[in-house]
Amino acid sequence: MKPNAAIKSPARPVTRAPFVDSTPLLLDPAALRRRAAEDGYLFFKRFLPADHVMELRAAILAVTDRYGWRASGQDRFGGRLNRAVTDKIPDEEIGTWGTGDACYREVQKLRAFHQFPHHPRLLALYRTLLQEDVLVHARTIARMIVPHPANFPTPPHQDYPYVQGSASTWTCWTPLGDCPRALGGLSVLRGSHRAGHLPVEPTKGAVRFGVKLCPWETEWMEGDYAAGDILTFNSLVVHKALRAEDREHLRLSLDVRYQAMSEPVEQGSLRPHLPDLTWKEVYAQWAENDELKYYWRKLPLKFRPWDEVCLHPKRRIC
């Protein structure tokens, strides 16, 4: 990214490069933080145990089975769809998570779904990156992407306007199972966080607004994912979904966010992802004394109110 967005620069061809695996830097925290500051993203191969990832995948697929979405003849991990059913999901039910409301509501009630972001390896990574105790945002998001006319590839955007709170928040994007490019995985614009909070424009897809890019902002990083891989990036990094070429399989992934405990958080990050779902409903079938319930209420948090203007920053001049 150019440090001064007002300087004219000729257009460059879009480049696509493979993710740089930062696994070796886990043994050198200072170098890890330098790469995070420079690139705005970190990618780790096989960071989480594959069996842990696949068990959550199976639990979510078991929910989709109750709606008849999977084709018959698969094991509990298979994602081949029954298009005769999924194609008939009403457009208005697709939502930003890529699947019907009723199914997603059930997924949001799974304890394993909310426990996943608290894996010790993830907590250790963000403590190293942020150099203090971390807050795990309670708003865990599943992306359950089916090939449907109402689904559009997520356009280039930043997370910060939708998360707010601290601009130093990091997103962890985790595919639940192998996710080759053909399934439409996530791609990031390397170094784009250094341009700060960017202006937006209305768009289609999982976000209401995309960002306007300048002619020199072309260095997209992407790759095939395997179960256990994670991609993490600062909330100001521009990212998008690749167009899915595979029209027969479900793409499952999680969005989870982490921030320094000392930084302010916006209250929406501590609510369920569905706006009309309450924690009381989520916890209805959990054990009464489950320590995961309302865990954030025990923490010394600072809050920053939601700012609608944050979605409409000043016009950008390239």
- DSSP string for 85-100: HHTTS-HHHHTTTTS-
DSSP string, 218-264: -EEEE--B-TT-EEEEETTS-EEEPPP---SB-EEEEEEEEEETTS-
Look at residue 97 in the predicted model and tell me its pLDDT: 63
**Contact yes or no for 112/102 (Cβ under 8 A):** no
Q: Is residue 223 part of a domain?
A: yes
Nearest to 147 by CA among 241, 223, 240: 241
pLDDT tens string 149-190:
888 788 999 999 999 999 999 999 999 999 999 999 999 999
Look at residue 5 and tell me if it is in a domain. Answer: no
Q: Are 194 and 38 in contact (CB under 8 A)?
A: no
Range of the structural domain that residue 25 is part of: 21-284+295-311
DSSP secondary structure code for residue 300 in this structure:
-
pLDDT for residue 8 is more than 70: no
pLDDT for 98? 65
Quickly list H helices, the chain.
29-39, 50-65, 83-86, 91-94, 101-107, 111-115, 120-130, 160-163, 279-282
Q: Kindly state whether residue 4 falls inside one of the protein's structural domains.
A: no
DSSP-derived 3-state class of residue 147: coil
Whether pTM > 0.75 for this model: the answer is: yes
How many residues in the chain? 318
Output the domain CATH number for residue 92.
2.60.120.620
Question: Domain for residue 317, yes or no?
Answer: no
Looking at the structure of the chain, the number of domains it has is 1
User: Model confidence at 256, in pLDDT bands (50, 70, 90)?
Assistant: very high
